[in-house]
Copies of this chain bind each other. A is one copy, B any other.
Amino acid sequence: MGIHQFFMSMNDLERIIRCPGRFKFEEHNVAAHSWKVSQYAMFFATIEENNGATINWKSLYEKTINHDFAEIFIGDIKTPVKHASPELKQMLSHVEEKMMEKFILDEIPTEFQPIFFDRMKEGKDETIEGKLLELADKLDQVYESFAELKRGNTDPEFIHMYEIALTKILHLPLEKSIHYFREVMLKDIMEEDSSIDVKAITLKILAQ
């Protein structure tokens, strides 16, 4: 019914746990995840900018902090959806979109509705900011699964998550960022002590 309600609803994202239902040594909420994504994206945007790209910082800021807002409606369900069909995945995206639409029409004052429709739409588009969001979002999956594997979580879900997210990152069309990630950061990741052999998993992916 207004911006106050919108601000209060942000608190809900502190209670939405990522990867719900799986055993994790450490839980992460969607609010904290959004902050980490905004940090990763800022770093890689800096690399791109230093290498001559033009960054629309307002757009990157909007995309990163809003990209998971729709999870206040049905939570974080991507992992089990991956086990289901693309058709189901699409149906769920559609449900989320419709709920977001309904939320903006019901809760946001008319004067701000166009801005919210713009900010809350899917951010992973073909712009450089959309690609940086994709990189940052996948990087947080890499770090979340890496942390579980380091501590000895034997749930194969986290190996899958690490493999899929890492593979997607390595194929992203952000040459300078991916180069830095692969040549510098991935080496540091592989050097860390880890209960489950993350180095071997990483080398296998790099070899593909």
Cβ–Cβ contact A21 & B16, under 8 A: yes
**A152 adjacent to chain B (CB < 8 Å):** yes
The chain A residues found within 8 Å of chain B, CB to CB, are 1-5, 7-8, 10-17, 20-23, 25-26, 28-29, 31-32, 34-36, 38-40, 42-43, 46, 55, 57-58, 60-62, 65, 72-75, 77, 80-81, 83-85, 88, 91-92, 94-95, 98-99, 102, 112, 115, 139, 143, 147, 150-154, 156, 180, 184-185, 188-189, 192-195
Instruction: Identify 13 new A-B residue pairs, CB closer than 8 A, beyond the known A46-B115, A88-B98, A91-B91.
Output: A7-B143, A15-B20, A23-B26, A25-B25, A32-B32, A60-B61, A74-B74, A75-B77, A84-B95, A84-B98, A85-B102, A151-B154, A154-B194
**Is there contact, CB below 8 Å, between B40 and A38?**
no
Contact of A154 among B23, B75, B80, B192 (CB under 8 A): B192
Selected from B31, B55, B57, the residue in CB contact (under 8 A) with A36 is B31
Complex Cα gap A81–B72 (Å): 11
How many angstroms between the C-alpha atoms of A102 and B84 in the bound complex?
7
6 chain-A/chain-B pairs, Cβ below 8 angstroms: A11-B36, A14-B28, A15-B23, A29-B32, A31-B36, A38-B65
Contact check, A43 vs B74: say whether CB atoms are below 8 A apart.
no
**Chain B neighbourhood of A195, CB < 8 A:** 152, 154, 195
Check if A75 sits within 8 Å of B14, measured CB to CB.
no
